[in-house]
Structure 1
Amino acid sequence: MTEAERLEIEDPGMNGGYINPPAIKRQHRDPYGDWWDKQERRNYGEPVHEDNDILGMLSPYDYTHFSAGWGAVLLGTFVAAVFGLAGAVSLVYPDKVSVPKEYEDGLEAELGGPRAVRARKQGEEAFTTPLP
């Protein structure tokens, strides 16, 4: 038997025989219990786990409000609601102004002279695209 095996048999966990309590996060203990230390939710003389820095109240919080599956359902519902609202607005939102703007002489001089692409003259048909 090697020295390491003998030491493991004599002192399992190699913590000097310290009585290690179960690894339960203090956050999951009863917050309304009659604790000696109310913030850390522990009593006087209670042994502390050797991983107390991970299991204590000041360690990162375990998020246990709902599961990942229910979170996906909530996220999917939100996305569907946003796209549903956007679709409903796109059905009733006007695509163009009700009366197109017209310019006298089509702003020929302002747009660069007689050879320039001009805006509509008064009375000309407005360019329209068919709606889907």
Structure 2
Amino acid sequence: MLRSSSRLLSTRLIQRPVVMSARSQSTLDTGEVIQDPQIGDYPNLPRWSHQSRGPFGWWDPQDKRNFGETVHEEDEVMGVWAPDLHTYSPYKAVAQLAMFAGVIASFVGVVYTTYPDRPAVKRTYPEDGLKKSLGFREGDIRPRGARTEDSE
């Protein structure tokens, strides 16, 4: 039993899909083995992110890990909970954001051009917005009076 699971583990670590990317990823998924003199006797594993593993066939499906599998030294960067791997270019992301902004702008433009006028006439007041009747004085911090077309 132990022998077959280790063989399964080794074939899963060897048979990895090669993902070619035009830019560096937030989580490195290159498969290279970095020589670290401070690692000691701990196995020096290749840099494969657990996010690129398939969803099925794992003893722990949440972390995509088998029982007894050696944890990578940089598990916080290579695990499932690390920053996401992106396989698309930044130009595609900018194009999608621009398309979203264009859709929103066109919707706002359509609403702006088809929005109906007010169904009633604006209210008007005599004597400069009833300032005299409401006790307006020069130098008031909050001027008293109704709103007029000039003050809107």
| TM-score, with structure 1 as normaliser | 0.52
Could you say which residue in structure 2 is the equivalent of 1:88? 110
- What are the within-5 Å matches in structure 2 for residues 1-132 of structure 1? 13-14=36-37, 15-33=39-57, 35-57=58-80, 59-64=81-86, 66-94=88-116, 107=126, 111=130, 112=132
- In the aligned structure 2, how far is the partner of 1:47 from the partner of 1:36? 13
Task: Give the partner amino acid of 1:68.
Answer: P
Deviation at 1:95, TM superposition (A): 5.0
Deviation at 1:63, TM superposition (A): 4.5
Q: Is the 8 A contact 1:27 1:56 kept in 2?
A: yes
The share of aligned pairs that are identical, in percent, is 33
Alpha-carbon displacement from aligned partner over 1:44-91 (angstroms, at most 9, x marks no partner): 34332211222122x334153754322222221222222222223333
**Tell me, which stretches of 5 or more residues in structure 2 are unaligned?**
1-34, 134-152
Task: Give the partner amino acid of 2:94.
Answer: A
- In the aligned structure 2, how far is the partner of 1:38 from the partner of 1:19? 23
Deviation at 1:43, TM superposition (A): 2.6
Query: Over the residues paired in the alignment, what is the CA RMSD in angstroms?
Result: 3.4
**Tell me, which stretches of 5 or more residues in structure 1 are unaligned?**
1-11, 114-132
**Are residues 49 and 107 of structure 1, via their aligned partners in 2, closer, same or farther at CA, if it must alter by over 3 Å?**
closer
Q: Is the 8 A contact 2:76 2:82 kept in 1?
A: no
Q: Is the 8 A contact 2:77 2:83 kept in 1?
A: no
Deviation at 1:30, TM superposition (A): 1.3
Task: Give the partner amino acid of 1:32.
Answer: F
Moved over 4 A (4+): 94-102
Q: Is the 8 A contact 2:55 2:64 kept in 1?
A: yes
- In the aligned structure 2, how far is the partner of 1:40 from the partner of 1:91? 52
